[in-house]
Amino acid sequence: MLARSRRLTAALAASAAAGGFITWGVAGAGPASAAAGCRVDYKVTNQWQGGFGADVTVTNLGDAISGWALTWTYTAGQSVAQAWNAAVTQSGTTVTAKNVDYNANLATGGTANFGFNGAWNNSTNPVPAAFALNGVACTGAPATGSPAPSRSTGSSPSASASPSRSTGPSPSQSASYPPPPSSYPAPMPVAGDTGVHDPTIVKRPEGGYIIAYTGNNIALKTSTDRVTWRNAGAAFPSGASWTLPYTGNSPSLWAPDISYRNGRYVMYYAASTFGSNHSAIFLATSPTGAAGSWTNQGLVIESRTADNFNAIDPNLYVDDQGRWWLSFGSFWSGIKLVQLDPATGKRSDSTIRAIAGRNGGAIEAPFVSKHGAYYYQYVSFDLCCKGASSTYRVMVGRSTSPTGPFLDRSGKDMNSGGGTEILAGRGSIHGPGHEAVLADTDGDYLVYHYYADSGASYLGINHIGYDGGGWPYLY
């Protein structure tokens, strides 16, 4: 877009399952097409109010089989929502998980693993009552397992109207991810006050989350569990008079970037008007992140109509050496990077680096995060802010240096229009973009906005997985 005026909920209708870790085992006779014995390891990997994620491993203790179906029964109203590595269906209390193409064959002693997200009723969440593999019961005493996880963490993929199949719970601490899905996943379910535009997120050191987003005087939301959100006022409830020369006297401030650094909250945010690159990025700090607690620390960088860049969409990242960098930009000559002084949060020199561009085309909303050996630069291509007609999509490239060059999967430099797509509109999810990455204790998450058929913008969250080559994907 050309500098902008930024602005399903899906909650699982049923309640969700899970409860710790349990192993059922052993042998029995059965038909030729069935396993002669089996063991099932059922582990809850994540649990939160109304939902949970589970990991299941089935071991064939009998003759080799080609094609399997594992069944179990829930006893407390739980339901399965979405799954990966197996085709899972539910009829009443009975759940059936069938193999997919790549894990159909189970040798003697062989295992198949799959996972799913589900819903439970928040009062009890027992493990399934019985398992059977190809109709043969997997019986035996439960083995000692891990305790049930805290209900304060996690969330699950959305049951929205999108036709895409969502996959995966939060990755385990061992960073084992489900395979990349065949289509883009739906957003994970969120609830409460979920209308946002250009969201950025930070985890509080004491627990819980803050989202800051485009709105009058920077709008705020909070959540205790990353699922249910509530409105939390504005960063500057008395107004931000210092921004008015850039906004045409509008109170709307754009695309904040919020983080927690050195015992305080740090926020960079933009002031501009549609179609103009007379823009500015300011810095504010807060001891608590709450509405009204923010103090303006002044101008960081501005762009004028004579400049070839646009000073909006800021993103702060800190490299492995502790150096601070601010990426920013929209249209014009693309995404820029300046170095900051960590002591002040302001520029440390006059150098402006180019790190992504489309020769004047639609690119904006940079976000750089580190995972493993790479710095990943996420950007939004194409057009925002057109409601259901928006064409935003999320692209990524990576570099071993915080200053680039950032290359896409094919090796194309993002300064030459490169970028590997990891999310785009589909079904009733329109124009997903203006992304941020949350590195949480249970894995990385992409946080973004998208438009519903009504044209309203909502919060989207998905897990980030990394394939064998280290490239991110959503599930």
| Residues designated as active site | 198, 364
Distance of CA 359 to the CA centre of its chain: 29
Q: What 3-state DSSP class applies to 101?
A: helix
Taken in order 270, 271, 277, 280, is the CA torsion positive or negative? Answer: negative
Q: What is the CA radius of gyration of the chain?
A: 24
Residues 352 and 336: beta-carbon distance below 8 Å = yes
Q: Which of 403-416 are b and which e, b meaning 16 or more Cβ less than 10 Å from the residue's Cβ?
A: bbbbbbbeeebbbe
Rounded Cα distance, 277 and 310, in Å: 5
Beta bridge partners of 115: 55, 84
47's tokens: 């649990």
Q: What 3-state DSSP class applies to 376?
A: strand
Rounded Cα distance, 201 and 350, in Å: 29
Residues 20 and 89: beta-carbon distance below 8 Å = no
Rounded Cα distance, 165 and 186, in Å: 7
Which residues fall within 8 angstroms of residue 474, CB to CB, at 6 or more apart? 181, 184, 185, 422, 423, 446, 462, 463, 464, 465
Residue 416's φ and ψ, nearest 5 degrees, are -110, 25
Q: List the one residue out of 396, 446, 395, 397 whose CA is nearest residue 424.
A: 395
